[in-house]
Amino acid sequence: MDFETLDKLLEHQSYVGGHVPTQQDTRNFRAIKSEPPSNYPHLTRWYRHLSSFGPEVNSFPQDNNQAASMEEVVKGVSELSTTDNAVKTQKPAEQNKKAEQKQKKKDANKSGGAGAKEMNPWPEFIQERLNLWDKLKKEADEALAAKVPTPIKVTLPDGAVKEGESWRTTPFMIAQGISQGLAESTIVAKVNGDVWDLDRPLEDDCSLQLLKFTDDDAKTV
């Protein structure tokens, strides 16, 4: 299992499949068996978060690719990160043009002085901030897991009422329950008139608006 690649995947999203936990997370969680090494902070954060759900990990919704495994997810990410196939299919003229543009960019950087370089090793304060983030995230996950979920009613703008659980159901889950297309096009929510992240659990009975990018309120987020 390529922990390094999976760690990079979880750096940009909360769960293996995106913004909401699914059976794909459940399978991968079981496959890991124990907490990953601390040098994989995003994978460790994900593992601790899944641990906070306890037996509820078994009731996560099914994912679109029910046969997916951790190896397949990692392989998919690796395939997305390489451009070898695309380069091979380019015409010679296109390759030459890109090579010229790349060389011009290098020459411009040389004439303008040395480009920015990543600091190696990182300053100590960066690791301190990463450790602080892990600590605060763990505390928040534990506090969330300790809350007892209760049935709630979520009222949509058209008057429809959806059932959910406090501290567990998220706006993204509500959107996904309506249609996958709605879930993919929604970028933020409003709960009782307040802007609300899609993966933030609902806390009580509430009204819910699912906003797309075309909504004025969503454009300001």
Q: Is residue 26 part of a domain?
A: yes
Tokens of 56: 């509820």
What is the SS3 string spanning 135-166?
Answer: HHHHHHHHHHHHCCCCEEEEECCCCCEEEEEC
What per-residue confidence (pLDDT) applies to 68?
A: 45
- Which of 50, 80, 110 is at the close of a domain? 80
Q: Is residue 100 part of a domain?
A: no
Q: Is residue 115 part of a domain?
A: no
Q: Is residue 106 part of a domain?
A: no
- Which of 80, 105, 137 is at the close of a domain? 80
- Which of 62, 80, 98 is at the close of a domain? 80
The pLDDT tens digits of the residues spanning 91-120 come to: 566 666 777 777 777 665 555 555 567 777
pTM of this prediction exceeds 0.75: no
| Order of all β-strands in the sheet with 151-155 | 161-165, 151-155, 206-212, 186-191, 194-196
Q: Is residue 124 part of a domain?
A: no
Rounded to the nearest 10 degrees, how much is the dihedral formed by the CA atoms of 143, 187, 169, 44?
-40
d(CA 178, CA 6): 30
The three-class DSSP label of residue 195 is strand
What per-residue confidence (pLDDT) applies to 109?
A: 59
Contacts 24+ apart (CB under 8 A), 10-14: 10/42, 10/43, 10/45, 10/46, 11/42, 14/46, 14/49, 14/199
Which ranges of the chain have pLDDT less than 50? 66-70, 77-78, 80-85, 87-88
Tokens of 13: 């999203």
Does residue 121 have a cis peptide bond before it, meaning omega lies within 30 degrees of 0?
yes
Q: Is residue 60 part of a domain?
A: yes
Domain around 45:
3-80
Domain count, the chain: 2
Q: Are strands 161-165 and 194-196 parallel, antiparallel or unpaired?
A: unpaired
Tokens of 120: 């190696």
Q: Is residue 134 part of a domain?
A: no
Tokens of 144: 């969330």
Q: Is residue 23 part of a domain?
A: yes
What per-residue confidence (pLDDT) applies to 167?
A: 94
CATH of the domain at 156: 3.10.20.30
Q: Kindly list the distances between the CA atom of residue 86 and the CA atoms of 91, 94, 169, 174, in Å, as whole numbers in the listed order.
A: 10, 12, 41, 38
d(CA 182, CA 177): 9
What per-residue confidence (pLDDT) applies to 192?
A: 96
